[in-house]
Amino acid sequence: MLSKKAQYAIQALEYLANRYAAGPVLISEIAERKGIPLKFLENILLELKNADILVSKKGKGGGYFLKTAPDQTTLASVIRVIDGPIAMLPCVSLYFYRPCDVCDQPNCRISRLFAEARDAVLGVLEKKTLQDLVADGGMVERLGNG
Amino acid sequence: MLSKKAQYAIQALEYLANRYAAGPVLISEIAERKGIPLKFLENILLELKNADILVSKKGKGGGYFLKTAPDQTTLASVIRVIDGPIAMLPCVSLYFYRPCDVCDQPNCRISRLFAEARDAVLGVLEKKTLQDLVADGGMVERLGNG
DNA sequence: AATCAGTCTATAAAAAAAGTGGACTAATAA
DNA sequence: TTATTAGTCCACTTTTTTTATAGACTGATT
């Protein structure tokens, strides 16, 4: 399961995707609308900013907004930033590989199986973007992706 | 990621699948061969027994063994017993459903997306069984599944 | 009766998740 | 140039989950 933090991150990004190109949005606005603890959300948005998914502006008229168009940020990348690996075993993770106690044999069947599972999820999460969360996605996207 | 517990469970079941129909296997033997803490493994095997995946026999000549043939136990069922939900959000879990804060809209795009991701993993984990972890899987299985 | 091997319950230690507080910095505008 | 606004940063607490461990108990076998 995704952590609460990752769920909050996705909700916040959905909110910002729906306001893309409408200028900076206050953290407090997102927190209130989505029912996310304010200070917790601050940490989350900061992580997303450090990961180059969001941009911030300080002072009056400031806030957070997407760095690129919603269709440029995959769900996979968001999850990796907040929760780390998507794979179910460390030894089959593409971005967070760590050798794994499970793989005692040289040609480990367990890891091969979970590599298959990983590819299956990534087939979805690498293709879906924040655009797929936007309310008025438009006919083209919906036919193309849904 | 799977918990250590689930990883141990899968390793233990792999071991038992390779000894299917060879009589009861001692917990201590599995623990030693797979490098799993003995008392921790006791708890795990007990859970798997309570979930009708394993059978035990007490006293001399006792131990644990698979309740059914290795191809009757899916990886999905093992993971659900030990770690619970496979889905990434509670609101799209088939066996552990819980309503979810994320779904504020009536027709939630986030949950639809993660239902797709869930189906993708389950496509693998519901089809793969302990038989797929057996060393001498045989030509038929390998062609059929791999 | 002795021994073997799983069962059960409780608890401890460690790590991760979830959330909070407060001082600080940058930008804007009066 | 000062006040205000809003994000930044760091440290910390609390809670929950994970990862074990201990020891008494039950049932089967010899």
Look at residue A142 in the predicted model and tell me its pLDDT.
Answer: 45
**Residues in B touching A11 (Cβ below 8 Å):** 102, 110
Residue A60 to residues A57, A66, A123, B69, Cα–Cα distance (Å): 9, 18, 42, 67
Task: Say which of B88, B101, B132 has its CB closest to residue A1.
Answer: B88
Give the CA A60 to C1' D3 distance in Å. Answer: 12
**Residue A121 to residues A77, A86, A126, B57, Cα–Cα distance (Å):** 13, 8, 8, 39
Residues of chain B with pLDDT under 50: 141-146
Alpha helices in chain A (DSSP H): 4-18, 27-34, 38-50, 75-83, 109-125, 139-145
Q: Which residue has the tokens 């089959």?
A: A92
Residue B126, pLDDT score: 98
Residue A57: phi and psi, rounded to 5, are: -135, 130
Instruction: Provide the pLDDT for residue A140.
Output: 53
Residue B131: closest CA among chain A residues belongs to which residue? Answer: A109
Residues of A in Cβ contact (< 8 Å) with B85 = 1
**Residue A104 confidence (pLDDT):** 61
Q: Is the pLDDT of residue A34 over 70?
A: yes
Q: What pTM does this model have? A: 0.92
Tokens 């639809």 belong to residue = B112
Q: Which two tokens stand for residue B107?
A: 């027709």
Strand C closer than 7 A to residue B70 Cβ: no
| Nucleotide nearest residue A50, measured CA to C1' | D8
The residues of A between 76 and 115 with beta carbon within 7 Å of nucleic strand C are 83
Q: Which nucleotides of C are covered by protein (CB under 7 A)?
A: 3-10, 17-22, 25-29
Q: Do B120 and A120 touch (CB under 8 A)?
A: yes
Question: pLDDT tens digits, residue range A72-126?
Answer: 999 999 999 999 999 999 999 999 999 876 676 667 999 999 999 999 999 999 9
Tokens 């599972």 identify what position?
A117
Q: Is the pLDDT of residue A141 over 50?
A: no
B35/C30 CA-to-C1' distance in Å = 70
Interatomic separation, CA of residue A123 and C1' of nucleotide D19, rounded (Å)? 33
The secondary element (H helix, E strand) that includes residue A64 is strand A63-66
Task: Give the CA dihedral A94, A97, A101, A104, nearest 10 degrees.
Answer: 60
- Inter-chain touch B102–A10, beta carbons under 8 Å: yes
Residue B60's pLDDT is 96
Is nucleic acid strand D under 7 Å from A64's C-beta? yes
Chain B residues with beta carbon closer than 8 angstroms to that of A110: 10-11, 14, 133
CA–CA dist A58, A77 (Å, integer):
25
Q: How far does the CA of A142 sit from the C1' of D18, in Å?
A: 41
For chain A, count helices (H), then strands (E). 6, 2
Q: Given this model, what pLDDT does residue A146 score?
A: 36
Question: In sequence order, which residues have a C-beta less than 8 Å from that of residue A76 and are 6 or more positions away?
Answer: A86, A122, A125, A126
